[in-house]
Amino acid sequence: MKSMTIHGIDDQLAELIKSKANQEGLSINKTIKKLLETSLGIRPRPPQKNIDEFSEFCGVWDGRDLREFEEAISDTETVDPGDWQ
């Protein structure tokens, strides 16, 4: 396996890498390898965890919304034979 050295990493990037390593319980080396593998498409990205933050914009309904919708369209659920003559 090869080793590489990266020069010129600024303080902000170094702190972000350290923070991510701490959050995931990994070493800085493993964190950098994981970031590179993900960004280069070697490993799939983990599923997004922020879907709930956007549900109001994506048409996701809760039970109350569904009940209101079903009640609003209930008159369309039956066929009036008189409409077909």
pLDDT at 36: 93
Q: State the pTM of this model.
A: 0.52
Average pLDDT for consecutive 10-residue bins of the chain (85 residues)?
92 96 95 92 76 72 90 88 80
pLDDT at 26: 95
pLDDT at 1: 81
pLDDT at 62: 83
pLDDT at 50: 72
pLDDT at 21: 96
In Å, how far are 1, 7, 18, 20, 74 from 29, measured between CA atoms?
Answer: 14, 14, 10, 11, 59
